[in-house]
Amino acid sequence: MSHGLPPFQRFLDCHREVVWRFLLSTVGPVEAEDCFQETFVSALRAYPRLREDSNLRAWVLTIAHRKALDVHRGRARRAIPVAEVAAVDERAAPSPPDRDQALWDAVGELPARQRSAVVLRFVGDLPHSDIAAAIGCSEDAARRSLHEGLSKLRKVVPA
């Protein structure tokens, strides 16, 4: 029994926005809704077993990251006709202000681990240790993924 956890509704109210933005940035607006529902249904099922001193934001973003990976694997498995490629790329893009569009297009084109590392860091505001836990790798590997992702993005947005 975990007595110190906040009521799930409060947890949802606190973290719905960061999860939504994470999913918007990783899977795009079309798939974000389904991923959001799957993320929080999974979270609800597991919630009472959670340790009360857990970092709830890192935990729910970890679940969201896994749901986003499922979407990417699903896309990779499906044979995508050439005509649809453009549409898929469009879906992968979030809807930020125009001036940042190129940057977020580039985020959408990063390999999955680098993209998650970048988004968890800058949307989720997670430290490297939590990014590592979310992605399921060592802290050094998380640091590397973040660094590699940022290096690629720097080419899109020169200093």
Q: State the Cα–Cα distance between residues 68 and 35, nearest whole angstrom.
A: 7
Question: What residues from 58 to 77 belong to the interface with another protein (CB under 8 A)?
Answer: none
Closest distance to another protein from the beta carbon of 83 (Å): 28
Nearer to another protein by C-beta: 18 or 76? 18
Q: Which stretch binds another protein (CB under 8 A): 2-10, 58-66, 74-82, 85-93?
A: 2-10
The whole-angstrom separation of Cα 22 and Cα 88 is 18
Residue closest to 113 by CA, chosen among 135, 132, 95, 86: 135
Does the footprint of another protein cover residue 44 (CB under 8 A)? yes
Residue that the structure tokens 């694997």 belong to: 73
- The Cα–Cα gap between 119 and 37 comes to 19
Count, residues in the chain = 159
**Which residue type occupies 101?**
Q
Specify the residue, 62 or 117, whose C-beta has the smaller distance to another protein: 117
Residues that bind another protein (CB under 8 A): 2-10, 12-13, 16-21, 24-25, 32-33, 36-37, 40-41, 44-45, 47-48, 94-97, 100, 103-104, 107, 118, 121-123, 125, 127-128, 147, 150, 153-154, 156-159
